[in-house]
């Protein structure tokens, strides 16, 4: 037991390190992202050396974890071989350059994450994510205000491609962590019926902070388009009692009143117009969807694989406007070909089936949150997809959470509560 506790603490620390590398230590320091893969491999090695019984338990109770790891490694290897044969580029070009193709291998994190959830449940994971999200949001807000008032940018690693501005003001990503924690904090203060008032106030403040950063600093239209409907859905699908029915009605009425008496929603929707200020962005995405879809149809098995964006820009970016990260599943189909079905489409469909099957299990207290999370991942498939290299860490976390829900659903003596 002591060994298990020590191992789980070490694995949690290593996972924290991976998350910090992913957000470049709160955008303050450039880190070689290959460190993520090294740390993930170390977590796997520790598991197989010091937790063999737990590995057997995971394989027995969560067999899909083993399957997705094997599928990922085989898919990566085949696409890598295809790239090496088809394109004249070095190992480094295929493995590291441009879109950090090695990140596909980070899906193996489903194993250590499953181990942590079986040992400690999922509360510690969400606590860790909330702390990271809070620090990132506070630092981003401070940087935004400082740049707005003095012009000084102290976060030197906000973007690898230079300091990002949108309509004259600084733009800072919330990362995938910030996006899903908006949903989590909203659920914890507004939807969940249990919990102390003081904690609910804390979740409310975290939610407000996240929304400020989302609307004012990050300003990612793809995220807003998914987050807002998910917030509404999380309220609607929650198990209704007479007491909270009025709260639901009040919440939805509030959204409608806000939409009617403000121009924000209208202006937001107008921003997608090809005549709006951000028309170039909309036009580029429409072009990218068409380009990547047609490329996939011509090369359905491997797509363009791990072709280097530096050596083959016309293949990876078309006429220069197409960006894989902007168009979700379309970009991934062009890059991975049919292997996207194996590593993403089928697992996603399976996860949605799992959460809807579990909705009748009264021992899973927060099933509406897991349904909302699944719908969020599904919704981002057309834009901020979870298997993009910027958000790849979301995918193994999501799969692990849903498989844990599935594991609890099969047991009749365990309660799952956030």
Write the pLDDT tens digit of every residue in 105-157. 999 999 999 999 998 889 999 999 999 999 999 999 999 999 999 999 999 88
Contacts of residue 281, Cβ cutoff 8 Å, sequence gap at least 6: none
Q: Confidence band (pLDDT; 50, 70, 90) for 1?
A: very low
Gap between the terminal Cα atoms of the chain: 24
Q: Which residue has the higher pLDDT, 325 or 17?
A: 17
Alpha-carbon distance 128 to 143, whole Å?
23
Residue 367 belongs to a domain: yes
pLDDT of the residue at 213 = 93
Residue 354 domain flag: yes
- Whether 329 maps to a domain, the answer reads no
Contact assessment for residue 328 and residue 334, using Cβ atoms and an 8 Å cutoff = no
pLDDT in tens, 206-228: 999 999 999 889 888 788 889 98
Question: Tens of pLDDT along 58-89?
Answer: 989 899 999 999 999 999 999 999 999 999 88
pTM of the predicted model as reported, rounded to 2 decimal places: 0.91
CB burial of residue 3 (10 Å; 0-12, 13-18, 19+): exposed
Q: Is residue 268 part of a domain?
A: no
Say how far residue 372 (Cα) sits from the centre of its chain: 13
Report yes or no on 304 lying in a domain.
Answer: no
Q: Is residue 338 predicted with pLDDT exceeding 60? A: yes
Count of domains forming the chain: 1
How far is Cα 197 from Cα 75, in angstroms, rounded to an integer?
A: 48
Tell me, yes or no, whether 62 lies in a domain. Answer: yes
Q: How far apart are CA 363 and CA 360, in angstroms?
A: 9
- Which range among 135-144, 169-178, 239-248, 320-329 shows the weakest confidence by mean pLDDT? 239-248
Residue 281 inside a domain? The answer is: no
* Domain span including residue 193: 2-238+338-410
CB contact at 8 A, 4 and 115: no
Non-local CB neighbours of 233 within 8 Å, separated by 6+ positions: 371, 372, 375
Alpha carbon 170 to chain centroid, angstroms: 23
Residue 198 lies in a domain: yes
**Is the CB of residue 277 less than 8 Å from the CB of residue 167?**
yes
Per-position DSSP letters for 161-203, written without gaps between them = TS--EETTEE----HHHHHHHHHHHHIIIII---S-HHHHHHH
The contacts of residue 184 (CB under 8 Å, 6+ apart) are 126, 129, 130, 369, 418
Cα 382 to Cα 222: distance, rounded to the nearest angstrom: 9
């Amino acid at each position: 037991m002591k060994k298990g506790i020590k191992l789980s603490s070490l694995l949690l620390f290593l996972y924290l390190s991976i998350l910090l590398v992913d957000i470049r230590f709160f955008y303050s320091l450039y880190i070689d992202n290959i460190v993520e893969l090294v740390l993930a491999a170390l977590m796997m090695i520790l598991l197989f050396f010091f937790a063999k019984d737990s590995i057997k338990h995971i394989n027995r109770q969560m067999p899909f974890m083993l399957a997705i790891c094997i599928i990922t490694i085989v898919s990566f290897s085949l696409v890598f071989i295809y790239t090496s044969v088809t394109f004249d580029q070095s190992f480094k070009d295929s493995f590291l350059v441009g879109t950090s193709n090695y990140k596909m291998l980070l899906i193996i994190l489903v194993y250590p994450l499953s181990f942590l959830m079986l040992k400690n449940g999922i509360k510690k994971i969400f606590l860790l994510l909330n702390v990271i999200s809070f620090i990132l949001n506070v630092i981003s807000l401070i940087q935004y205000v400082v740049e707005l008032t003095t012009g000084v940018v102290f976060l030197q690693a906000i973007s690898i491609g230079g300091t990002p501005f949108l309509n004259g003001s600084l733009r800072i990503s919330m990362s995938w962590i910030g996006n899903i924690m908006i949903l989590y904090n909203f659920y914890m203060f507004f939807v969940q019926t249990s919990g102390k008032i003081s904690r609910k106030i804390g979740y409310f403040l975290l939610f407000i902070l996240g929304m400020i950063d989302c609307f004012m600093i990050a300003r990612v239209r793809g995220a807003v388009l998914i987050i807002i409907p998910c917030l509404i859905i999380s309220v609607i699908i929650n198990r209704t009692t007479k007491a909270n029915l009025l709260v639901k009605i009040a919440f939805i009425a509030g959204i409608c009143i806000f939409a009617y008496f403000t121009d924000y929603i209208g202006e937001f929707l107008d921003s997608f117009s090809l005549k709006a200020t951000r028309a170039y962005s909309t036009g580029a995405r429409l072009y990218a969807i068409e380009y990547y879809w047609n490329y996939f149809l011509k090369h359905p098995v491997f797509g363009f694989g791990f072709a280097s964006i530096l050596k083959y820009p016309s293949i990876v970016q078309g006429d220069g406007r197409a960006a894989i990260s902007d168009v979700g599943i379309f970009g991934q189909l062009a890059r991975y070909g049919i292997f996207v079905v194996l590593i993403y489409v089928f697992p996603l469909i399976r996860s949605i089936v799992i959460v809807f099957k579990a909705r009748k299990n009264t021992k899973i207290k927060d099933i509406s949150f897991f349904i909302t999370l699944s719908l969020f991942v599904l919704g981002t498939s057309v834009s901020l997809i979870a298997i993009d290299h910027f958000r790849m860490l979301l995918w193994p976390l999501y799969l692990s959470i849903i498989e844990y829900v599935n594991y609890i659903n099969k047991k009749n003596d365990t309660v799952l509560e956030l």
